[in-house]
Structure 1
Amino acid sequence: MPDIPLTTLLLLCLAAAAAGWIDAVVGGGGLLMLPALLVGLPHLQPTFILGTNKAIAICGTTGAAVTYTRKAPLDLRIAIRIGVAAAIGSLTGAYLASGIDSGVLRPLIMAVLLAVLAFVLLRPAFGTAPALTGPVSRRRVLTAVLGVGLGIGFYDGLIGPGTGTFLVLALAATLGTDLVTSSATAKVVNVCTNVGALLTFGLQGSVLWRLAAVLACFNLAGGMVGARMALKRGSGFVRGVLVVVVVSLVCKLGYDQWVS
């Protein structure tokens, strides 16, 4: 574990709790946690940042998933199928992550965020309408497994930030669910992708386990609180948080990239 000033450690703990809350409500907690680790631990190689972020995120995601599965109307069998495909994609992406240059992370994340923001703003009713009734067709399930599972799983292992957000949006589009149910399904899938990526990073020795253990406790607490709030307040609340989070992060990454 690197020598970290107490002030930096406390700020990382707060970031972990906030990331867990955001991830549980709408996904994308890594978009806060990863920049926080990049700023707080500037001398670490990107693979250690990515690996440690996975070890932190898996705790909050698991806590949120357990909370959702108890109360949200998700189809656990479909979620697990998508999750298995996502884990395969995540393993592949994590294996290739060692070649990533940290200089490309911020611009890439920002471009993806802008695409998400444009989609959400141009589709104001997306995810807030009542979910489709009846069983999900095989075609929708296959699209979710191959397109959403493998594709977003690969991205999660390669880079990671925003995976939960992309899962929520993609699952709502392919399965016809509302945002709360999509968030619940995304948490189950995200647990699988995190396991796959963390296994790869762990075997490569790219995880700061002691630091991750401390931050994971705060991430878990934030995730469980966030899941309960999303269940209580509904899809409109989830969509509002999504817009605020994406706009804030675009501004922050833009400032870091071009102003600071």
Structure 2
Amino acid sequence: MFSNFLSDYNSWTLLALGSLAFIAGFIDSVVGGGGLIQIPALLISFPNAPIATLFGTNKIAALAGTSVAAFHYAKRITFDFKLLFVISLSCFISSFTGARIVSLINVQVLKPLILFILIAIAVYTFFKKDLGSVKTKELPYRKQIIYGAFIGLIIGFYDGFFGPGTGSFFVLAFVVVLGFEFVQASAYAKIVNCVTNISALIVFIKQGNYMLELALIMAVMNITGNIIGSKLALKKGNDFVRIIFLVVVIIMIFKYGWEVFADQGV
């Protein structure tokens, strides 16, 4: 079965998808946003495939890589497991809901709003030089739980419904709302992102929306990128993560900007 699959596709296509999965894994392990690379690569390579099938394939590869990065972070970062559980549970529920309705609503209508949010994020991060360099606030624990639950509900729904850039949104929310450092925020984002991926995958797999063999190839490369990226993030610290975060947000702005203007025929 696997050999038949390989013979059905151009070797250059598989090589390109594997290489891009590696890059996506590297970026995703540092600040999230790997879907910005993997999903367009799948869309270009398989233009006639159902969107939900490509999303399911992407989720399998992304979950594999993110799980490995989460393991590396867990060895170095101390987690508040109650807070992590609340955020993860909220994410699981909302991501599942988002994945259920992805085929019912045109996701294109969200792109102008996402573009506006991304521009605001880039400007804010660029001018606030100390953002995420140190822990900026000590919220009362009850507020941490409440804010964390809201973060999980909103971004978890986005991840199940659409997905690209979810990890970056989690990182920023943890830094700005909960006052985390960038490395700490990235570590939490990896754990929570695993949960949202699992939740959405339950839906996609149940519906048969995935290409398993292709997902396995991409998963191996994604894992490799995640291992290298997470080690670099832990070694180089908050300044490195902040720079990568800004780069990813700028890429997202160009991507969504292009799609918004293309949809409007500009």
TM-score above 0.5, yes or no = yes
C-alpha contact (below 8 Å) 1:46/1:100 kept by paired residues: no
Structure 1 residue 142 and structure 2 residue 146: aligned? yes
Given the alignment, which residue of 163, 168, 171 partners 2:171? Answer: 168
Q: Which amino acid aligns with 2:192?
A: V
Q: Which amino acid aligns with 1:55?
A: I
C-alpha contact (below 8 Å) 1:89/1:153 kept by paired residues: yes
Residue 183 of structure 1 corresponds to 186
Cα distance change of structure 1 residues 10 and 115 upon mapping to structure 2, 3 Å threshold: farther
Moved more, 181-190 or 91-100: 91-100
Moved more, 105-114 or 136-145: 105-114
TM-score between both structures, scaled by the size of structure 2: 0.88
Residue 48 of structure 1 corresponds to 53
Q: Which amino acid aligns with 2:176?
A: A
Residue 33 of structure 1 corresponds to 38
Unaligned runs of 5+ in 1: none
2: CA distance, partners of 1:33 / 1:119: 27
2: CA distance, partners of 1:110 / 1:20: 23
Cα distance change of structure 1 residues 47 and 164 upon mapping to structure 2, 3 Å threshold: same
| Structure 1 residue 103: Cα displacement | 5.5
| Structure 1 residue 175: Cα displacement | 2.0
Percent identity over paired residues: 39
C-alpha contact (below 8 Å) 1:82/1:189 kept by paired residues: yes
| Structure 1 residue 98: Cα displacement | 1.4
1: CA distance, partners of 2:115 / 2:20: 19
Structure 1 residue 220 and structure 2 residue 223: aligned? yes
C-alpha contact (below 8 Å) 1:80/1:188 kept by paired residues: no
2: CA distance, partners of 1:102 / 1:141: 30
Please provide the CA RMSD for this pair.
2.4
Residue 74 of structure 2 corresponds to 69
Cα distance change of structure 1 residues 102 and 117 upon mapping to structure 2, 3 Å threshold: same
Given the alignment, which residue of 153, 156, 160 partners 2:156? Answer: 153
2: CA distance, partners of 1:148 / 1:249: 20
Residue 242 of structure 2 corresponds to 239
Residue-pair matches, total: 258
Structure 1 residue 210 and structure 2 residue 230: aligned? no
2: CA distance, partners of 1:177 / 1:36: 32
Q: Which amino acid aligns with 1:231?
A: L
